[in-house]
Structure 1
Amino acid sequence: MEREEISGPESAYGDGNRRISHVVGSEACQEGHCRSDVIGEAKRQLGLAGPLIVVSILQNSIQLISVMFNGHLGELPLSSASLATSFASVTGFSFLLGMASALETLCGQAYGAKHYHLLGIHLQRAVLTLLSLSIPLSVIWFYTSTILISLHQDHEISTGAGTFNRWMIPSLFAFGLLQSLNRFLQTQNIVFPMMISSGVTALLHPIVCWLLVYKFGLRIKGAALANNISYWSNVILLSIYVKFSAACRHTWTGFSKDALHDFFSFIRLAIPSAVMICFEYWSFETVVLLSGLLTNPKLETSVLSISVNTMWMVYMISVGLGGALSTRVSNELGAGQPQRARLALVVAVVVALSEGVFVGIVTILARHVWGTLFSNEKEVIRYVAKIMPLLALSDFLDGFQCVLSGAARGCGWQKLCAFINLGAYYVVAIPSAVLFAFFFRIGGMGLWMGIICGLSVQVMALVIVIACTNWDKEAMKAVRRVQEAGRAIGMEPESLLSKGTETYQPPAPT
C-alpha cells in the first residue's frame, strides 16, 4: 500500500478535511497487506529505537564515568560529585531536555508534511531559546554550594559540589545544543550519525578524565572539565554532520532571520514539555531525599539509590522506543496519514509490553545477585532482593508510560501530559509514598510503592486519552500547525514547495 503523495499547494495548504478523508479511505486494506504493514512498521520502529537506545546510554554515561573517577579520589569527592550531578540534573539538564523535546512535535510534523525548510527554522529557534535559558541556569549552578548549604546539606560536601558545578557550567550550554541536534536528526530518521558521535565521545571520555583528574592533578575540577570537553565534542561532531551531510541539505539551509520570528510557536510547546519532563524526574529525586528521613537512613538511601539507578538504566530502553514512536507518529500526522500514525502506536504498544514483561522477569530472577554488584554488605544485598519485585513492576509501568508519552509528544499533547504528570506524581505518588513509608512504617519499600501508584495513574490516564483520540482530527491539527509555521515566516505554499518537496525524497532511517 503506497502512501498518498503530497504535491502542489492544495495538498500543503488546501482543504485538510478532503485530504484526510481521502487518505482514510485509501487505508482500507486486505489482511495480507495489513500484515505486511505491521511488519514494515515494526522494522521501522526497531531500526529507529535500537540506535536511539544506544545514544541514550552513551550520552548518559558521560556524567556517570566522571562520578566514578571522583569515587577513586576518596569518599568526599564521590559524595560531592554525586550531589553535584543530582543538583545539575534537577536545576539544569532536565529543563533543557524537556524544552528540546518540543522539536519532536514541530520538526517531526514538518518533516512528515515535506516542508523540510521549516526544520532548520525550528532548530534555530530552539538553539536560541535554550542558550538564553542556560544563562540564568548557569547563575544557579554558580551558587550551588550556597543553595545546598541553605538546604542544610553537609557543608564540606556542598562546597565540593559547588566547585564541581561551577567548572561544569560550559556543559550546560553544550547540553541544550546537543539535545536540539538530537531531535532535529531523530525526526528525520537519521540516527546512526548520532550513535557514532556519541560512541566516539563516550569512548574518549575516560581518557580525558584520566588525563585531567590524575595526569594534570585537577582532581574534581578535572572531572567537571572532562564533561565540558565531551559534551562540546559531541555538539561539534553533529554540527559538522548537519552542515556538510547530503541527508540534511534540504532541512538545514543555513542561518536565517526567519528564525527570529514567531518564537511563540516553539515556546508554546517547549514550556509544557519542560514541565512534563521535570515533574517526572523530580519525583524520583524526591523519593531518594525522603529515604534519608527513615529509621535507618544509610541503608534506606543506599537501597533506594541502587533502585533508582537500576530503573534509569532500564528506562534507556524505553526512551529509545518512545523516541522512535514519537518520530513515527509526528511524521505520519504531518503527512496527513492518521491511520498510519495509529498503526505505529499499536505496534509500539505491543513491543513495549513485550519488552516490559521480559525485563520484569529478568529483574525478578536476578534479585538475589543484583545487590552484590553494588555492595558487599549482606544487609544491603538482602534488602535489594526484597525490593526487586516492586522494581520489576515499576520498570514495566515506567516503560509503558514512556512509550505512550512518546506518542503524546508526536501529537503535541505536552500541556495535557504536564497536568497528568502533576497529578500522577505529586497528588498520588509522593503523598502515597509518605503514607506507606512513614504512617504504615513500610520504609523504603513503601516509598517505592508510592511511585508505583503514581505510575499506575499516569499509565491509566494516558491510555484513556489515547483511546479517546480522533486520529483524523490530530492529523488535521498537525497539518494546520505546519501551515501556521510556514505563514509565520511569510512563506506561501508555492515557496514552501520550492524547497524541494517535489524533487527531494526523504532518506530511509540511517
Structure 2
Amino acid sequence: MDLGNKTRTLLSTPLIQNSEKKKWGQNLEAIGELKVQMRLAGPLVVVSFLQYSFQMISVMFVGHLGELSLSGASMATSFAGVTGFGLMLGMASALETFCGQAYGAKQYHMLGMHMQRAMLVLVLISIPIAVLWIYTEHIFVVIGQDKDISSQAGLYSRWLIPSIVPYGLLQCQFRFLQAQNNVSPLMISTGITSFVHVSACWSLVFRFGLGCKGAALANSISYWVNVLILALYIRFSSACKKTWTGFSKEGTENLFGFLSLGVPSALMVCLEFWSYEFLVLMSGFLPNPKLETSMMSISLNLISVFFRIPFGFASAVSTRVSNELGAGKPQAARLAVHVAIFLAASEGLLVNLSAVAVKGVWGYLYTGDEEVVTYLSSVMPILAVSNFMDGMQAVLSGTARGCGWQKMGALVNLGAYYLVGLPCAVLLTFFFGFGGKGLWMGIICGSGLQALLLLSINLCMNWERQAEKAMDRVDSSSIPSTDIVY
C-alpha cells in the first residue's frame, strides 16, 4: 500500500511541476507585457496632456481680454472640436490599425504609404471644415446664441482655420511613430512645442496686439512647429529608415481603402464627443441655467483632463494589439488586452477615489463662486463614476482600433449614447427632477453600456480569426518596396 502511494506521488510530481512552470511562465509574460505597455503609455499620456493644453492655453490668454472675448473663444473652441479637430483625430486613428498591423507583419515600407494616404485624405477634408468655420457666426445666430458672443466666436473660428491642416498632419505623424513603439520623439517634440505655444500666445495677443485673433493663430504656429520637428526626425532618423522611404505615387492611391476604416474611426470618436457636448446644451434649459452651465462646463473640463491618462493607455494597447495581430500572434494580443484592462481599472480607482476625497477643492480651481463650488462638490462622486467608465471604454476602444473593427465600435457608440445615454439623461433631468446630476447619471448609463458591450465583444473574440484578418489586411494593401520613387 505504501509502495503504491509513493509510486502515485512520483508519477504526479512532474505534472504538478509542469503546471507550476506554466503558471510561472504566464506570470512572467504578463509582467513583461505590463512593462512594455507602461513604457509606451507613459510618454503617450504626457503627449496627450500637452496636446490638450494647447487650446486651453489659448483660451486662458483670451480670458485676460474680457468676458465677451472669453465667451466667444470658448464657444468657438467647442465648435471647432465638434466639427473639425475631433473628426481629424478620429480619422487619423485608422492608422493605428493600418500602420500597427503592417509594422507587426514587418511590411515596414507600408507605414509610409499609409501615412501619405491619410495625410492626403485629411488635407482634402480640411476644405469643407474651413468653409463651415467661416460661417460659425451665422450658425450661432441661427441657433439663438447672443449676437455679440456669436460675432466673437466667428472671429476666433476664422483665425483657427490655418490650424486645421497642420493638426491633421500631426495626428498622422503621431500614429506613424506610435505604431513603431517610437514614442519618445513625440513627447520631446510636443514638450518643445508647448513652450513655443505659450511664447506665441503672449507675443501675438499682447505684444502685437492681435487679441483673440492672435490666440487662435498661435495654435496654427504651434502645430506647424510640431509637424516640422517630427518631419525632420522622420526624414533623417535611422529609426525610420525602413518605414519612411520617401513620397511615392502609391501614397495617393487606394484612398477609399483608407476611408473604409477612416470613416468609422471618425464616427467612433465623434459620436461619443458629440454626446457630451449635448449635455452642455441641455443644461441651458434647466431652471438656473447660469449655475448649471457653469457646473457642466467645469465638469467637462475636469473629466477631459482626467481622461488623458486612460487615453494614453488606449493608444498603447492599440499599438500592442495591432503589432501582435500583424505578426500573427493572437494570444499575445489577447494578453495585451487583459493587461490594459487591469491598468485602466487600477488607474481609474486610484485617481477617481482621490478626486472624490478632495471634492470640495476642485471648484476653486475655476471660480470663487461658493454656489458653483458647492454644487460641483456634490456632483464629484457622479463624475468619478463617469470618469471610471470612460477609462474602461477608452482602453476597450483602443483594442477595437488595434483589431480593425471600428465599424462595430461606431455602432456600439451609436446605440450606447444615442439610444440609451442621452434619452436617460433627458428622462432623469427633466422628468424625474435630478437637474444637472441627472445629465451625468444619464451619460453614465451610456458609457457603462458602451464599456459592457465592448468588454463582451472582447471576451467572445476569436483571436486567431482576428490575426488572420490582420494578415489579410496587410497583404491586400501591400505594394512591392521596389515600386517606391522619391
> What's the TM-score, normalizing by structure 1?
0.90
Larger radius of gyration: 2
Give distance in 2, aligned partners of 1:140 and 1:111: 37
Answer whether contact 1:288 1:304 (CA < 8 A) is retained. yes
Greater RCO (CA < 8 Å, at least 6 residues apart)? 1
Distance between the aligned counterparts of 1:360 and 1:85, measured in 2? 27
Residue in structure 1 matching 2:426, options 434, 437, 450: 434
Shift of 1:31: 2.4
CA displacement, residues 272-318 of structure 1 (integer Å, 9 cap, x when unaligned): 00011000000111001110110000000011111111100010001
| Contact 1:359–1:395 (CA under 8 A) maintained in structure 2 | no
**Matched residue type, 2:108:** Y
* 1:246 corresponds to 2:226: no
Q: In 2, distance between residues paired with 1:260 and 1:163?
A: 35
Describe the superposition over 1:437-490 as per-residue Cα deviations: whole angstroms up to 9, x where unpaired: 11111100000001100011101110111111000000000001001011xx4x
Task: Tell me the distance in 1 between the aligned counterparts of 2:21 and 2:418.
Answer: 45
Q: 1:336 aligns with which of 328, 336, 340?
A: 328
Structure 1: which amino acid aligns with 2:442?
Answer: G
Deviation at 1:261, TM superposition (A): 2.1
For 1:67, which of 59, 70, 91 is the aligned residue? 59
Q: Distance in 2 between matches of 1:81 and 1:440?
A: 34
**Cα distance, 1:376 vs. partner?**
1.0
Aligned match of 2:358: 366
Instruction: Determine the structure 2 residue equivalent to 1:389.
Output: 381
Query: What's the CA shift for 1:205?
Result: 1.2
1:455 lines up with 2:447 in the alignment: yes
Task: Write out per-residue CA displacement over residues 211-231 of structure 1, whole angstroms, 9 at most, x where no aligned residue.
Answer: 110111110111011111001
Report the AA paired with residue 422 of structure 2.
Answer: I
Any residues of structure 2 matched to 1:91-130 within 5 Å, and which?
A: 91-130=83-122
2:136 is the counterpart of 1:155 = no
C-alpha distance in 1 between matches for 2:142 and 2:193? 36
1:255 matched to 2:241: no
Partner Cα distance (1:148, 1:233) in 2: 32
Deviations 1:204-259 (A, max 9, x none): 21111111101111101110111110011111111111111110010000001111
Partner letter of residue 338 of structure 1? P
* Structure 2: stretches of 5+ with no match in the other structure: 1-19
Shift of 1:165: 1.1
Shift of 1:29: 7.3
Q: Which amino acid aligns with 1:245?
A: S
Residue 405 of structure 1 pairs with residue 397 of structure 2 = yes
CA distance in 1, matches of 2:54, 2:97: 27
1:346 aligns to 2:353 (yes or no): no
**Is 1:279 the equivalent of 2:267?**
no
Q: 1:216 aligns with which of 208, 231, 234?
A: 208
Q: Secondary structure of the residue that 1:70 maps to in structure 2?
A: helix
Q: Distance in 2 between matches of 1:243 and 1:53?
A: 25
1:34 to 9, 26, 32: 26
The one-letter amino acid paired with 1:458 is Q
Percent of paired sites with the same residue: 56
Cα deviation, residue 179, structure 1 = 0.4
What is the one-letter code of the residue matched to 2:438?
Answer: G
The amino acid that maps onto 1:359 is V
| Aligned residue type for 1:167 | W
The residue number in structure 2 matching 1:171 is 163
| Number of aligned positions between the proteins | 465
2:304 to 312, 315, 318: 312
Letter in 1 for 2:242: H
Question: Please, what TM-score do these two structures have when normalized by structure 2?
Answer: 0.94
CA distance in 1, matches of 2:460, 2:22: 26
Is there any run of 5+ residues in structure 1 with no aligned partner, and where? Answer: 1-27, 500-510
Q: Distance in 1 between matches of 2:110 and 2:237?
A: 18
Aligned with 2:106: secondary structure? coil
Out of 324, 349, 352, the residue aligned to residue 357 of structure 1 is 349
**What is the root-mean-square deviation of aligned Cα atoms in Å?**
1.3
CA distance in structure 2 between the aligned counterparts of 1:75 and 1:386, rounded to whole angstroms: 27
Distance in 2, Cα, partners of 1:368 & 1:140: 40
